[in-house]
Amino acid sequence: MAAEAGPISKVLIVVAMQTEATPLVSKFKLVEAPAHESTFPKGAPWVRYHGNYKGLHIDLVLPGKDAVFGVDSVGTVSTALVTSFSIQTLKPDLIINAGTAGGFKAKGASIGDVFLASDVAFHDRRIPIPVFDMYGIGARKTFAAPNILKELNLKVGKLSTGDSLDMSPHDEEVILSNDATIKDMEGAAVAYVADMFSTPAIFVKAVTDIVDGEKPTSEEFLQNLIAVTAALDLAVTKVVDFISGKHISDL
């Protein structure tokens, strides 16, 4: 890996929603790549911002708006696609998947907490055939970053990913077996692609809603999104500040 030869120089931040991306774009003074300069294939709604910050070249990508419905293209498919293409064309030394997540109070999560995911898995890919069942869950360790955890005092927990915002009884059963503290709609897909291309990836997730709480997830998510995005912005900034000048092995 290029990063092993010297300090980390290229960071790819993968974000699902524009609301989550905007504060980071502002913080790092990134500019949007115009269409005529885009490395993305024609027809892809993906968005890329880029710039330099404290000796790092930062690319921030997101799946963009759905062409038909005009909403953020959330979920595993769109995120995996933009992550895959971005790794191949931008060749980052490190990926940061930054986003919001639901948290489980039974596992110690509270609104506004920021977690670094230690493990990721899927909870809605049920394939009850030997070996295919394990492939469906796709459990994997994330890139270990003990010094980031220690320095920034982030919480740590396992992340479970699925394509639904709410949680069905089947999903809940798998999430429990995944021993997850937080759940999102992208992380395990980013991890799958990062592993495929041997690129280290860390997962910074801020809790917008309590999955095992009293309020409906959708209501609580929308209510807390802006405030929690500010906490996410602060945490990601601290991570990027820490990364500056470091080697991969220093993380």
Q: Which residues are catalytic?
A: 20, 209
Q: In this structure, is the dihedral angle defined by the CA atoms of residues 159, 160, 163 and 164, taken in order, positive or negative?
A: negative
* Residue 197 bridge partners (DSSP): none
Q: In this structure, is the dihedral angle defined by the CA atoms of residues 213, 233, 98 and 30, taken in order, positive or negative?
A: positive
Tokens 């998947």 belong to which residue? 97
User: Could you give the angle at the alpha carbon of 184 between the alpha carbons of 181 and 186, nearest 5°?
Assistant: 135
Q: Where are the alpha helices (DSSP H) in the chain?
A: 2-5, 18-27, 76-90, 132-137, 146-152, 169-177, 187-196, 217-243
Q: In this structure, is the dihedral angle defined by the CA atoms of residues 211, 217, 220 and 226, taken in order, positive or negative?
A: positive
Of 57, 63, 70, 66, the residue nearest 28 (C-alpha): 57
